[in-house]
Amino acid sequence: MWDVLAGFLVVWLIIAVGFALGRFRILGSDARIVMSRTAFFVASPCLLFLTISGSPIGEVIGPQFGVAAVSAFAALFLFLLVGRVLLPGRRFSEHMIAAQSASQVNGANLGFPIAAYVLGDIALAAPVVMFQLAIYMPLVVATLDQARHRETGAASVRPTTRLAVLRRVLQTVANPVIIGAMLGLLFSWQQWRFPGPVHESIELLAGAAIPLLLLSFGLSLVGSHPLDKAAGRRRDVLLAAGTKLIIHPVLAYLAAAFLFGLEGAMLFTAVVMASLPTAQNVLVTAVRYEAGEIIARDTVLITTVLGIPSMVAVALLMA
């Protein structure tokens, strides 16, 4: 458990550096946006490509992959349904960011160390990461692309022609997140590899993804007040955080035990992976699409703070 605490400490130290940079205005007022966009358009796609292309498809697409998919989509759609009743008047893009906050786990930054130190095998995090990078994120990003197009452009430019519809489809397919994930799947399937210098360049860029994500998150905390009533999104955050920390692990347990017949250590693995806090790149996505930034930031903060108690509770309940 001390190793898990050390993993969280590493994350919070980098977040603290980002907060200090913002608090003392060392990088200027646009630093957060620049970092977020760099992570979204460059570093994250490289990380997606390396992670997926370096993982044999046959080893990661199994029961744990299925549990991750069923529980994440179930949490997403459950939040969307409940939110329609409890959270009226929200734009769909904002509601989608909140649902993403309630269902996407921090598999890259925290999943691997927790798999290594708590579950005893770092490879146990690979199915969750593969699902999120190859399927979940591209689908969410594609949905947000279309939602933001309707919200910002439908009033003035209505896509009534085939050419306009084709243009929107091409814009979605050209999204860097989708390109990185799809290329990774292709290279993994065909066992291809870029020449040495190209591969090393991609590795260097991919290595910047997690620091940029965490620094950007730290910058976003400057002047922020979690669950600030004045922001008008307290209910959204509480519902998203509650879904992530409680409902998502319960859904994972039900899917693992009754749909996939897992038990013992494998059942515990499925629930622990679903108990991970909200991924920081949800905030990057929110900044990119200018929707739900407060919800994403506060949900990431709350679930990250409560992540260890949540996983300890899971361990005690399943002991």
pLDDT in tens, 244-263: 999 999 999 999 999 999 99
pLDDT at 5: 67
Residue 30 phi, psi (nearest 5): -100, 5
Per-residue pLDDT band at 93 (split at 50, 70, 90): very high
Three-state SS sequence of the chain: CHHHHHHHHHHHHHHHHHHHHHHCCCCCCCHHHHHHHHHHHHHHHHHHHHHHHCCCHHHHCCHHHHHHHHHHHHHHHHHHHHHHHHCCCCCHHHHHHHHHHHHCECHHHHHHHHHHHCCCCHHHHHHHHHHHHHHHHHHHHHHHHHHHHHHHHCCCCCCCCHHHHHHHHHHHHCCHHHHHHHHHHHHHHHCCCCCHHHHHHHHHHHHCHHHHHHHHHHHHCCCCCCCCHHHCCHHHHHHHHHHHHHHHHHHHHHHHHHHCCCCHHHHHHHHHHHCCCECCHHHHHHHHHCCCHHHHHHHHHHHHHCHHHHHHHHHHHHC
Per-residue pLDDT band at 149 (split at 50, 70, 90): confident
Is the pLDDT reported for residue 181 higher than 50? yes
The token pair that represents 302 in the structure block: 């709350």
Centroid of chain to Cα 214: 13
Nearest-angstrom CA–CA distance, 175 and 228: 33
Per-residue pLDDT band at 155 (split at 50, 70, 90): very low
Mean pLDDT for 289-308 is 89
Is the pLDDT reported for residue 103 higher than 90? yes
Mean pLDDT for 187-198 is 92
Is the pLDDT reported for residue 2 higher than 80? no
Is the pLDDT reported for residue 43 higher than 60? yes
pLDDT at 158: 46
Per-residue pLDDT band at 169 (split at 50, 70, 90): low
Per-residue pLDDT band at 19 (split at 50, 70, 90): very high
Is the pLDDT reported for residue 242 higher than 80? yes
Taking the domains of the chain in order of start, what are their residue ranges? Answer: 58-196+223-318
> In this structure, are residues 103 and 72 in contact, taking their beta carbons and an 8 Å threshold?
yes
More confident residue, 244 or 161: 244
> In this structure, are residues 148 and 175 in contact, taking their beta carbons and an 8 Å threshold?
no
Q: Whole-number mean pLDDT of the chain?
A: 86
Nearest-angstrom CA–CA distance, 106 and 48: 14
User: In the chain, pLDDT over 90 holds for what percent of residues?
Assistant: 43
pLDDT at 308: 76
pLDDT at 156: 40
Q: Which residues pair with 278 in a beta bridge?
A: 105
pLDDT at 151: 81
Nearest-angstrom CA–CA distance, 221 and 231: 14
- Range of 134-148, 226-240, 271-285 with top mean pLDDT: 271-285
Would the pTM count as exceeding 0.85?
Answer: no
pLDDT at 180: 86
Mean pLDDT for 122-147 is 86
The 10 Å Cβ neighbour count of residue 289 is: 21
